[in-house]
C-alpha cells in the first residue's frame, strides 16, 4: 500500500509536469504533509471484536464494523483542528466555514464519532444535519471528517495482503465494507483490481462486471476515455454509475491510485455531463 511520502512525491511530480494542476496540488500536498508521521495519531483505533476474521471472509462479511472503531475524542479533535488549520492556510476561500467547524469541535457541538460512523456506513442524514446546523456545505463537512477516518483505516488495512482475501467475490471492500473508489488493470492479462474508496485496500474482482450493481451484461457495460492517458471511465447503464479505471500496462503504475483519482477530475466532469453518478 502506498505510503504518505509516496503520495506527496507523486503530487510534486504532477505539479512540475502538469501546470493544469497548479491550483489543486498545493492543497493536497499540504494535507499529506500534515498526515506524514501522524498516521497513527488520528484518535481512531481499531479493535476487531465480532467473530473470527477467517470466517467473516468466507461468508463475504467485511472484517470490521463501526463498533470496532474506538475514538479518543480529545485526540481526534486535536487532529481535526490541525487538518482545519492546513485547509485554512492553503484553501482560504472556505476559511469562515472551516473556523466554524473548528469552534464547533472545541465546544462539543460536533461529535466526530457520529460523523465517522455516517461516512463509513454511507448515511447522509448526520452529515446533512451538521451542515444545516452550522450553515456549512455538506461536501466540506464530509471532506474534513473523511481525512482522519481514511487515514486510520488505511493505517489498519496496511496490515493485510490481497492474498488473504483470494476467495473474496464481493463488490465491497473486505476490510471496511466500503465501495470501490477506482479500479486498475495490471499484469499481462489485465487483471482487474478494485481500490477501496475509504481504506485504499486493493482486491481482485471480475473483469466484466459492474462493481456497484453486479451487472455482467456486456450490452450495458462500456467505457470512454479522453486523450491518450492510461485512465478511462468504465460505465454501467444498468445503474447509471461509473468507475475510473487505470490501465497500468500503459503507464502510471508508480502513481498511487488515490493520487491518480485526484489528477483525473476532468474524467469525473465528463461522466457527470453524461448523467452518470460516481459509484463510491
What digits encode the pLDDT tens for the residues 88-108? 998 767 899 999 999 999 999
- Shared-domain flag, residues 195 and 217: yes
Asked if residue 195 is part of any domain, the answer here is yes
pLDDT(165) > 80: yes
In a domain, 217, yes or no: yes
Q: Among 22-31, 178-187, 235-244, which stretch is predicted with the lowest mean pLDDT?
A: 22-31
Q: Cell 483519482 identifies what position?
A: 261
pTM value is 0.92
pLDDT value of position 1: 79
Do residues 82 and 144 both lie within one domain? yes
d(CA 121, CA 178): 8
User: What integer is the mean pLDDT of 224-239?
Assistant: 92
Q: What's the domain range around 274?
A: 162-278
Does residue 179 carry a pLDDT above 80?
yes
Ramachandran area for residue 246 (φ above 0: left; ψ -120 to 50: alpha; else beta) = beta
Determine the 3-state secondary structure of 242 from DSSP: strand
Number of domains into which the chain is organized: 2
Task: Specify whether 138 is located in the same domain as 190.
Answer: no
For strand 180-186 and strand 241-247, is the pairing parallel, antiparallel, or unpaired?
parallel
Lowest mean pLDDT among 23-27, 88-92, 134-138, 157-161: 88-92
Tell whether 24 is covered by a domain: no
Average pLDDT over the chain reads 91
For residue 62 the three cell numbers come to: 467485511
Rounded Cα distance, 225 and 234, in Å = 9
How far is it, in rounded angstroms, from Cα 123 to Cα 159?
27
Q: Which residues contact 54 (CB under 8 A, 6 or more apart)?
A: none
CA pair distance 250, 215, nearest whole angstrom? 27
Residue 139 shares a structural domain with residue 175: no
| Mean pLDDT within 159-182 | 90
Count helices and strands (H / E) in the chain: 10, 9
Amino acid at each position: 500500500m502506498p505510503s504518505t511520502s509516496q503520495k506527496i512525491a507523486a503530487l510534486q511530480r504532477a505539479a512540475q509536469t502538469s501546470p493544469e494542476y497548479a491550483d489543486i496540488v498545493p492543497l493536497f500536498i499540504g494535507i499529506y504533509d500534515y498526515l506524514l508521521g501522524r498516521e497513527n495519531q488520528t484518535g481512531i483505533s481499531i479493535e476487531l471484536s465480532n467473530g473470527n476474521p477467517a470466517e467473516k471472509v468466507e461468508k463475504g462479511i467485511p472484517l470490521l464494523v463501526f463498533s470496532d472503531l474506538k475514538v479518543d475524542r480529545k485526540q481526534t479533535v486535536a487532529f481535526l483542528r490541525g487538518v482545519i488549520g492546513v485547509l485554512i492556510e492553503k484553501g482560504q476561500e472556505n476559511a469562515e466555514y472551516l473556523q466554524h467547524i473548528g469552534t464547533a469541535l472545541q465546544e462539543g457541538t460536533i461529535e466526530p464519532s457520529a460523523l465517522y460512523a455516517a461516512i463509513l456506513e454511507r448515511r447522509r442524514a448526520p452529515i446533512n444535519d451538521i451542515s444545516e446546523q452550522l450553515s456549512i456545505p455538506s461536501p466540506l463537512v464530509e471532506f474534513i471528517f473523511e481525512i482522519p477516518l481514511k487515514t486510520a483505516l488505511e493505517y489498519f488495512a496496511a496490515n493485510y495482503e490481497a492474498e488473504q482475501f483470494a476467495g473474496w467475490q464481493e463488490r465491497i471492500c473486505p476490510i471496511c465494507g466500503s465501495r470501490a473508489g477506482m479500479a486498475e488493470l495490471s499484469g499481462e492479462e489485465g487483471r482487474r483490481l478494485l481500490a477501496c474508496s475509504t481504506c485504499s485496500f486493493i482486491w481482485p474482482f471480475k473483469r466484466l462486471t459492474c462493481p456497484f450493481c453486479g451487472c455482467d451484461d456486456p450490452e450495458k457495460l462500456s467505457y470512454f476515455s479522453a486523450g491518450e492517458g492510461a485512465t478511462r471511465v468504465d460505465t454501467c447503464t444498468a445503474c447509471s454509475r461509473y468507475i475510473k479505471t487505470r490501465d497500468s500496462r500503459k503507464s502510471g503504475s508508480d502513481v498511487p491510485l488515490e493520487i491518480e483519482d485526484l489528477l483525473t477530475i476532468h474524467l469525473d466532469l465528463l461522466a457527470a455531463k453524461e448523467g452518470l453518478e460516481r459509484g463510491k
